[in-house]
A and B are shown apart, each in its own frame.
Chain A
Amino acid sequence: MNFTRALAKRIGFGLLLLFAVLILNFTLISLAPGDIADTIAGVMGGADAQVLEEIRARYGLDQPFYVQLWRYLSAVAALDLGYSYYFDTPVTTLILEKLPATLLLVFSAQITAIVTGTLLGVLAAKKPGGAVSLTVTFLSLFGFAAPVFWTGILLIILFVSVFPVFPVGGMFDVTVEGGWLVRSLDVLRHLCLPMLTLASVFLALYSRHARASMLEVLGADYIRTARAKGVPERRVLYRHALKNALGPVVTVAGLQFSAVISGAVVVETVFSWPGLGTLALQSILARDTPTILGILFFSSLVVIAFNILTDIALRALDPRIKSG
Chain B
Amino acid sequence: MKTMKRLSAASWLTLAALAGMSAGAGLAAADEPKRGGTLVMSVQNTPRHLNPAVQSGIATGEPGTQLFASPLRYDDGWNPQPYLARSWAVSDDGLSVTLNLVKGATFHDGAPITSADVAFSVETVKANHPFKSMFAPVQTVETPDAHTAVLKLTQPHPALMLAMSSQLLPIIPKHIYGDGQDPKTHPRNAENVVGSGPFKLVEFKRDQHIILERYDDFFIEGRPYLDRIVMRIIKDGSARAIALDNGSAHVSGFELSPRDLLRLKKNPDLNVSGQGYAAIGSIVWLAFNTKDGMTADKRVRQAIAYAVDRKFLLRAIMLGTAQAAKTGIHPGSPFYDAGVNGYDLDLERANAILDAAGYARDADGIRFPLTVDFGWETVKPYAEYLKPQLKKIGIDVTVRASADFPSWAKRISNHDFDMTMDNVFNWGDPVIGVHRTYAADNIKKGVIWSNTQQYANPRVDELMQLAGSTYDLGARKKHYAEFQRILAEDLPIYWLYAAPYHTVANAKVANPPNSIWGTCSPLDRVYLKD
Instruction: Using CB atoms and an 8 Å cutoff, list the residues of chain A in contact with chain B.
Output: 32-36, 38-49, 51-52, 58, 86-89, 94, 97-98, 153, 156-157, 160-161, 164, 167-171, 174-175, 269-272, 274, 278-279, 282, 284-285, 287
List B contacts of A32 (CB < 8 A). 403-404, 406-407
A169 touches B236 (CB 8 A): yes
A33 touches B248 (CB 8 A): no
A292 to chain B, nearest CB (A): 12
- Proximity string of chain B (236-252) to chain A, C-beta cutoff 8 Å, 1 when within and 0 when not: 10110011011011000
B230 touches A88 (CB 8 A): no
Apart from A34-B410, A40-B48, list 16 A-B contacts with CB within 8 A: A34-B405, A35-B406, A38-B406, A38-B413, A43-B56, A44-B56, A46-B450, A48-B444, A94-B206, A168-B234, A168-B249, A170-B234, A174-B232, A272-B236, A284-B404, A285-B405
Enumerate 10 A-B pairs (CB-CB under 8 Å) in ascending A order. Answer: A43-B57, A45-B57, A45-B427, A46-B447, A88-B185, A89-B190, A157-B242, A161-B242, A174-B230, A284-B404
A272 touches B234 (CB 8 A): yes
Q: CA separation between A42 and B447, bound complex, in Å?
A: 10
List A contacts of B205 (CB < 8 A). 274
- Proximity string of chain B (37-66) to chain A, C-beta cutoff 8 Å, 1 when within and 0 when not: 010100000101100000111010000000
A228 to chain B, nearest CB (A): 57
- Name A86's closest neighbour in chain B (CB-CB): B48
B214 at the interface (CB under 8 A from A): no
A46 touches B49 (CB 8 A): no
Q: CA separation between A33 and B444, bound complex, in Å?
A: 18
With A42-B405, A45-B56 in contact, is A269–B447 under 8 Å at CB?
no
B406 touches A34 (CB 8 A): yes
List A contacts of B235 (CB < 8 A). 269, 272, 278
Q: CA separation between A202 and B15, bound complex, in Å?
A: 60
B109 at the interface (CB under 8 A from A): no
Chain B interface size range: 35 or more
Query: Which of A43, A49, A98, A269 lies at the interface centre, i.e. has the most chain B CB atoms within 10 A of its CB?
Result: A43
Query: Which of B130, B185, B411 lies at the interface centre, i.e. has the most chain A CB atoms within 10 A of its CB?
Result: B130
A156 touches B211 (CB 8 A): no
Q: CA separation between A130 and B130, bound complex, in Å?
A: 68
Of B59, B132, B236, B245, the residue contacting A48 (CB under 8 A) is: B132
A41 touches B409 (CB 8 A): yes
Of B57, B233, B243, B405, the residue contacting A44 (CB under 8 A) is: B57
A43 touches B410 (CB 8 A): no
B234 touches A161 (CB 8 A): no
Q: CA separation between A169 and B246, bound complex, in Å?
A: 13
B455 at the interface (CB under 8 A from A): no
B446 at the interface (CB under 8 A from A): yes
6 A-B pairs with the lowest CB-CB distances in the bound complex, closest first: A34-B406, A46-B449, A47-B130, A34-B410, A33-B410, A44-B56
B405 touches A168 (CB 8 A): no
A274 touches B436 (CB 8 A): no
B409 touches A88 (CB 8 A): no
Of A41, A88, A285, the residue contacting B448 (CB under 8 A) is: A41
Of B211, B246, B447, the residue contacting A52 (CB under 8 A) is: B447
B406 touches A156 (CB 8 A): no
- Name A275's closest neighbour in chain B (CB-CB): B207
List B contacts of A269 (CB < 8 A). 235-236
A282 touches B46 (CB 8 A): yes
A164 touches B55 (CB 8 A): no
Q: CA separation between A249 and B88, bound complex, in Å?
A: 74
A169 to chain B, nearest CB (A): 5
List A contacts of B246 (CB < 8 A). 160-161, 164, 168
- Proximity string of chain B (397-415) to chain A, C-beta cutoff 8 Å, 1 when within and 0 when not: 0000001111111110100
- Name B408's closest neighbour in chain A (CB-CB): A34
B380 at the interface (CB under 8 A from A): no
Query: Which of B46, B235, B239, B449 lies at the interface centre, i.e. has the most chain A CB atoms within 10 A of its CB?
Result: B239
List B contacts of A156 (CB < 8 A). 238-239, 242
Q: CA separation between A111 and B427, bound complex, in Å?
A: 51
Q: CA separation between A58 and B287, bound complex, in Å?
A: 32
B409 touches A175 (CB 8 A): no
- Proximity string of chain B (199-237) to chain A, C-beta cutoff 8 Å, 1 when within and 0 when not: 000000111110100000000000000000010111110
- Name B240's closest neighbour in chain A (CB-CB): A168
Q: CA separation between A284 and B130, bound complex, in Å?
A: 23
B230 touches A175 (CB 8 A): yes
B131 at the interface (CB under 8 A from A): yes
Q: CA separation between A36 and B38, bound complex, in Å?
A: 37
B425 at the interface (CB under 8 A from A): yes
With A41-B130, A41-B449, A43-B59 in contact, is A169–B406 under 8 Å at CB?
no
With A38-B405, A274-B205 in contact, is A161–B245 under 8 Å at CB?
yes
With A39-B405, A52-B446 in contact, is A45–B211 under 8 Å at CB?
no
- Name B203's closest neighbour in chain A (CB-CB): A174
A33 touches B411 (CB 8 A): yes
B422 to chain A, nearest CB (A): 11
List B contacts of A44 (CB < 8 A). 55-57, 130
Q: CA separation between A120 and B404, bound complex, in Å?
A: 42
Query: Which of B406, B413, B447, B448 lies at the interface centre, i.e. has the most chain A CB atoms within 10 A of its CB?
Result: B406
Q: CA separation between A58 and B54, bound complex, in Å?
A: 15
List A contacts of B249 (CB < 8 A). 168
Q: CA separation between A271 and B185, bound complex, in Å?
A: 31
List A contacts of B245 (CB < 8 A). 161
Q: CA separation between A42 and B413, bound complex, in Å?
A: 12
Of A38, A89, A169, A271, the residue contacting B410 (CB under 8 A) is: A38
B239 touches A168 (CB 8 A): yes
The A-contacting residues of B in range 122-143, CB under 8 angstroms, are 130-132
A168 touches B248 (CB 8 A): yes
Q: CA separation between A157 and B450, bound complex, in Å?
A: 42
With A87-B206, A168-B239 in contact, is A46–B410 under 8 Å at CB?
no
List B contacts of A35 (CB < 8 A). 406
B52 to chain A, nearest CB (A): 10
List B contacts of A167 (CB < 8 A). 248
- Name B38's closest neighbour in chain A (CB-CB): A175
B403 touches A88 (CB 8 A): no
B509 to chain A, nearest CB (A): 16
A151 to chain B, nearest CB (A): 13
List B contacts of A34 (CB < 8 A). 404-410
List A contacts of B207 (CB < 8 A). 98, 272, 274, 278-279, 282
The A-contacting residues of B in range 246-288, CB under 8 angstroms, are 246, 248-249
- Name A278's closest neighbour in chain B (CB-CB): B207
With A38-B410, A42-B405, A88-B48 in contact, is A49–B447 under 8 Å at CB?
yes
B285 to chain A, nearest CB (A): 15
